[in-house]
Amino acid sequence: FNCLSLHKDGLYAGGNDGAIRTLDITLDEPRILDQIEIGREISSITWSSDFEMLGVGSRQGTIHFIRNWNVPNANLLLDHHYGKFVGLQCIYPENDYCVTVRENGTLQLWAITEPSLDASCYIGCQVSCLVSCPSSKTVTIGSENGYIFVIDLNEIRSPRIIHRNRLYHSSVTKLTHDINGRYLLAGSNDGNLFICSAHATTGFKVFGYLAISGDITEIATHTDENDTIQVVVLHNDSMLTYFNLSGLDLNQDVFATKSGQIKDTAVNRVDFKLTCPMKGLQFITANTVIAFDSSSKELKEIEIQRGDGQKVRSSWKINRTFLCHQLPGEGITISRSGELLVTWSQDGCVAVWSLPSMVKELIVNNDNMPEIDRLENHEFTLDVEDRQRLIEESDKEVEMVKQEIQLKNVAKKYHHQLIKSDCWDEMETHGKAIHAFKSNVVVSNYPMRKRTEQDLAEIAFVNLQRKIEVAEASLQREIIGYTNNSLTAETNEKPDEEEINENGKETSADQEESVALYGSRGIAYGAGHPLLYTQFQLNLVHEKRDQIVLLKDCIHKIKIKFNEEFTEVMKMKQSEIKKIREKNVRMSKIMHDLKLNEEIFQPQMHIDEKPEELLKVYDEEIKAEKYLLPEEVEKKERIRREEEVRKATEEGQNPRERALQQMMGGRLEANPEEDLFKEFIRPEFMKKPPEQMTDDEVRMAKEIEKKEKVIVEEREKYKKALETELKKLQTNVGATCEAFDDRIAKLFERKVNTDMVICQEELKCLRLFSLLLDEDSMERKELELSKLLDYKKQLKNQTHAMLTDVKHEVDLFRDEYDKYVNDDKYMDKGFRKEFAETEPYLDTLHKLFRRRPRGQKNLVRVCNDPPVVMSPSTKNPYAHPPGSQGGGFAYSSGFYKALDEYDDISHMPQGLDVLIWERLTEYRRNKIEMEQEVKSKALTLAEMEEFLKKRAKEDDELREEIESILRSLKRIKDEKLKFMMNLSVQFLLKQGQVEVYSDDFVTDYSDSILIHRSVIEDLNATIRLLGDAKVAIMNDCKNFRKNIHLLEWEHKKMKMQIEDLHTKGKDIQLLRVTKELQQYLGDEDYQQIHQHEIQMLENTIVKYHHAHEQTIKERKRMFNRLQKLVKSKQSENDSVTNQLDELALSLTEKKSIYDVNAGGDIEVAREKRRKEITTRRKLVDVAKIQAQEVAVLRAEVERLRMKTFPALVQIDQ
């Protein structure tokens, strides 16, 4: 249910099924009383003011009303169609109507000639696609939940659903008919393509499905002159599946599985993998499709070539490409005649292509023409004006894009300038980082902004104020010997650690104590400030604020000092790089002479060391080719030509340089090193044998060889000198890099320590900020409590004054009430005096006097407005029933009517005078009015007393609140005073000086105390002294106990020796002298006898081994014989098995022959066999009975025989 509404007849509910139900909720279990169909998904219901008419709203934009509940349908009041259109199709064979479907499931029929909405139909679910059947007035709709709906449109005014079938569990993405309307093809993204009949006479039968991988996006069909239906399916954007449906409904052997999957061979299926993703797909001719390339703006014509499955393989190729849109295409459709092709794309344009046969032939002929005679594709455009219009529009769009890019560039430049001015120009010290040569150490400096004039003025003001305070404290100390603070600024005027270390141990101890009290090591890193407060002076707010300013100034000085050292190291690196480069030039020359290919270390400045270079863009950093305008290209070419002309002119006009280059290689000085390494060229005569040379040639050859030998020796010497120089240069470069890396490591350690000091100073600032915030919070709380206290005091004064007035009013009213009570009592007591003359009737009159009408005990409140009485026939469940209001007035009138009835003369006692009766009734009325007045006064007095109690309670609550506020104020003032006196001090302690167990995150020091180091050291010395004494005593005890244990052990050892000797003596006395023992004692050479026995045992073992080996050989021979026997038995078994098969076959044949021949004697043999079995069974039963009887008789005989035997009893001796 989506909505509920309560009615006097029951509870009305509406839901997604389009029905309104009336529910009876008076019972334990609700039941349906009535139901009305709306036909739409109901979203809301509401009743009219008289609850006679029900309004119903649906999610499809319709409003219905229900007045007559006897009619099964509701009246339509408004139908506002909404939702996106999913599809549009014309109704074949006429084209007078078209049908649309919206995504919410609303089908609408529109007249084309006179545009109007003629009919609509609601499907009841979300739809995804629509297709119209060419052979009948039906349309098929695919839904998001996998259903297909077939709608009959023969009656235009009343479309109806004639078939519904669920093909998928996911959305139906594509529906297509062939051109003759025989088949319906349905695709989805779950990998199946269903093929169904499009005829209602077959019940829209499902022939089967093809397994298609991935999401199906396009399905196209084509029917050729042979009535062959070709189908192409585009799936996964780049997969193409081709097959045909000829004779599918006639062929029965087409399924590959029981679930209805069609064999690929039954439909001649072929799969292709395209080179790029496609969109939109349509047949233009047989085996030729056209589609959009998703990665470009081109429309491609694809030809499918089918193979024979054996020698010729199926393939595809792109015949032509067309460029028809400015943006990538979205879809294609083709007219039923095949002459018009319509395309549309993301640029919002729709292009209509004419495809008559003549144009097709011209295009085909143009493709076959030579390249010089071939026309461009755009020259086949028939509408030249439209093409020119598209070109102009594209030029305008290009110009707009250029302007947009220029505006974006201007904005980026503006942002660049803002960032640069804020993060670069405003910086006093730019951020840099030094990289080591060989190691991975990187040290960065502290980027610092320029301090504003306001910051400098604040620092100057604080310094001046601190100087005045220090001078004042000094004068107080000189004049009266008193200062306001326990510690003065002199603590901060001590020298740095480096100076202290030179003065001795005592000064070092004082400085270490000063550092511990100072809370950081900032003094050693340039943060020493003579005007800083000590941590024991920060009691007031202005002192804490001034301390924060001074600490920030100290942090600034620390950073400046480190940056100065950083700058020195940066200059050092630049100089080292310059030296290394000079050495690298020489090393390059040496390596070139030695023909070595070793890599030379070339140090470069890192980009972190030159951050200003980050704002520059060099041409080599741009990978993309620079676009030049035609004017720029022409200018560049002109400059190049002028440069070439200038160089040619200079070369022609400088004969000196030309002569130097041609005659001496461009140099005036000779280079002996290069001459040394030149190749020595021998004369031609040295190639002759020595016997063929002349004397001069021999002499010249000897000189040349001698010169070559000298050159080789000089070359080797020079080479060794170069190698030595190279190693020396490499060693120097390595040492330089190592020394600089060590300097960088020290700087890195300095940076870590500086960061630690800065963090210590910032921790001070943060603690001071926290203290200021806490103090400000306490002041605000005190101010708020003071304001609240003043407000509560004002309320208390007002409440006290009001309480006094109320008490006075209550006292006055109580006196008045007492007066009315006394008058009432006086009337009771004066009744007998008033009617004393009626002594005989006095008791009766007194009873009548005391008589009252019913309802007098409570006061009556009279209603001034007339009562609202609803009609009994109303259906409003929230109306009040009649008589529920207005009864107070009637009750008051009835009381006085009853009183008038009591005053009637009919109630008068007989014999009583009428005047006395009238006087009695008047007296009784006065008494009743008096009683009413007393009761009214009593109620008013009770209300006044209750009001007085409330005011008194409020006064007490205000008093308690004021006391609570006073206590809170006192507590805050105490906390503020304690906060001012109880300072938070930061100490620098070594790890061993903190003896509090550390937590995982933040250690709790709330229950910790700070003790002077000398106390702990004295205590440790005492403990150490006592420990040494205890250790000495324990050593003495240990040695004495050791001696005792030694004596006890020796005594125990002697006792055990005595026991051992006694045991040995006893064993000797009890020893039996055997033959072996006598032999051992008698023979002198007993060892030889023992050796002889061992030799005999070893010989026995050898014999046993030999016998064991013989046994193993015998067992192996037996095993071999058994294996042979097993093989023979297996062969015999195989032969027997073969004989058994033959015998079984002969037995079967004989049995069949016997069955044929002896078929008539079966019953006789069966009866005879049955009788034999029965007779045998009876004989077996008789034999069993007789055997049991024999066994019984044998047992009886045995028993009788045992009775005749004498009883022989064996007596143990």
What is the three-state SS of 424-474?
Answer: HHCEEECCCEEECCCCCCEEECCCEECCCHHHHHHHHHHHHHHHHHHHHHH
Burial of 1075 per CB tally in 10 Å (0-12, 13-18, 19+) = exposed
Cβ atoms 107, 121 nearer than 8 A: yes
527's CB contacts (< 8 A; 6+ apart) are 520, 554, 555, 557, 558, 757, 761
Report the alpha-carbon distance of residue 1134 to residue 1112 in Å, rounded.
33
The string of pLDDT tens digits covering residues 1151-1169 is 877 777 655 566 777 788 8
Report the alpha-carbon distance of residue 1083 to residue 1089 in Å, rounded.
9
Residues 362-381: what's their mean pLDDT? 69
Cβ atoms 50, 87 nearer than 8 A: no
Please report the pLDDT score of residue 496 as a whole number.
41
The string of pLDDT tens digits covering residues 451-487 is 889 989 999 999 999 899 888 888 888 887 655 544 3
Please report the pLDDT score of residue 784 as a whole number.
92
E-only strand ranges, 569-638: none
Identify which of 921, 929, 863 has the alpha carbon closest to the alpha carbon of residue 893. Answer: 863
Report the alpha-carbon distance of residue 608 to residue 589 in Å, rounded.
31
E-only strand ranges, 153-205: 160-166, 172-177, 183-188, 192-197
Residue found by looking up tokens 């009734």 in the block = 921
Question: Residue 958 is inside which H or E element, if any?
Answer: helix 914-981
The answer, as to whether pTM is greater than 0.75, is: no
Is the peptide bond preceding residue 655 cis, with omega within 30 degrees of 0? no
Question: Residue 579 is inside which H or E element, if any?
Answer: helix 541-594
Count the neighbouring beta carbons within 10 Å of the beta carbon of residue 1155: 10
Scanning 1070-1085, the segments in alpha helix (DSSP H) are 1075-1082
Residues 944-966: what's their mean pLDDT? 90
Residue type, 42: I
Judged by average pLDDT, the poorest of 773-787, 877-891, 1003-1017 is 877-891
3-class DSSP assignment, residue 983: coil
3-class DSSP assignment, residue 108: strand
Identify which of 801, 733, 804, 761 has the alpha carbon closest to the alpha carbon of residue 586. Answer: 733
Please report the pLDDT score of residue 853 as a whole number.
67
Please report the pLDDT score of residue 869 as a whole number.
38
Residues 1050-1070: what's their mean pLDDT? 90
Quickly state the pLDDT bin for 1060 (edges 50, 70, 90): very high
Q: Angle CA(650)–CA(655)–CA(656) in degrees, nearest 5? A: 110
Please report the pLDDT score of residue 1083 as a whole number.
64
| Tokens (6 digits) for 44 | 């809301």
Give the count of alpha carbons within 13 A of 207, CB side only: 27
CA 734 to chain centre: 51
Identify which of 116, 120, 113 has the alpha carbon closest to the alpha carbon of residue 95. Answer: 113
Judged by average pLDDT, the poorest of 195-209, 245-259, 275-289, 637-651 is 245-259
Count the neighbouring beta carbons within 10 Å of the beta carbon of residue 995: 8
The string of pLDDT tens digits covering residues 214-224 is 888 889 998 88
Cβ atoms 60, 122 nearer than 8 A: yes
Q: Angle CA(83)–CA(89)–CA(93) in degrees, nearest 5? A: 150
The string of pLDDT tens digits covering residues 489-522 is 443 443 444 343 444 444 444 444 556 667 778 7
Residue type, 873: S
The string of pLDDT tens digits covering residues 397-428 is 889 998 999 999 999 999 988 888 888 888 88
The string of pLDDT tens digits covering residues 520-545 is 787 788 777 788 888 888 888 888 89
Identify which of 338, 333, 344 has the alpha carbon closest to the alpha carbon of residue 360. Answer: 338
Report the alpha-carbon distance of residue 304 to residue 319 in Å, rounded.
10
pLDDT at 1107 over 70: yes
CA 327 to chain centre: 36
Identify which of 967, 959, 942, 940 has the alpha carbon closest to the alpha carbon of residue 800. Answer: 959
User: Got the DSSP string for 378-434?
Assistant: GGG-S-HHHHHHHHHHHHHHHHHHHHHHHHHHHHHHHHHHHHHIIIIITEEE---EE
The string of pLDDT tens digits covering residues 101-134 is 888 888 888 887 777 788 888 887 889 999 998 8
Report the alpha-carbon distance of residue 236 to residue 1100 in Å, rounded.
91
User: Got the DSSP string for 883-901?
Assistant: TSS-HHHHHHHHHHHHHHH
Please report the pLDDT score of residue 337 as a whole number.
65
871's CB contacts (< 8 A; 6+ apart) are none
181's CB contacts (< 8 A; 6+ apart) are 92, 133, 134, 135, 136, 198
3-class DSSP assignment, residue 1119: helix
Give me the sign of the Cα torsion angle 1155, 1160, 1163, 1164.
negative
The string of pLDDT tens digits covering residues 26-45 is 777 788 888 887 777 888 88
Please report the pLDDT score of residue 486 as a whole number.
40
Residues 1114-1134: what's their mean pLDDT? 90
Judged by average pLDDT, the poorest of 85-94, 264-273, 539-548 is 85-94
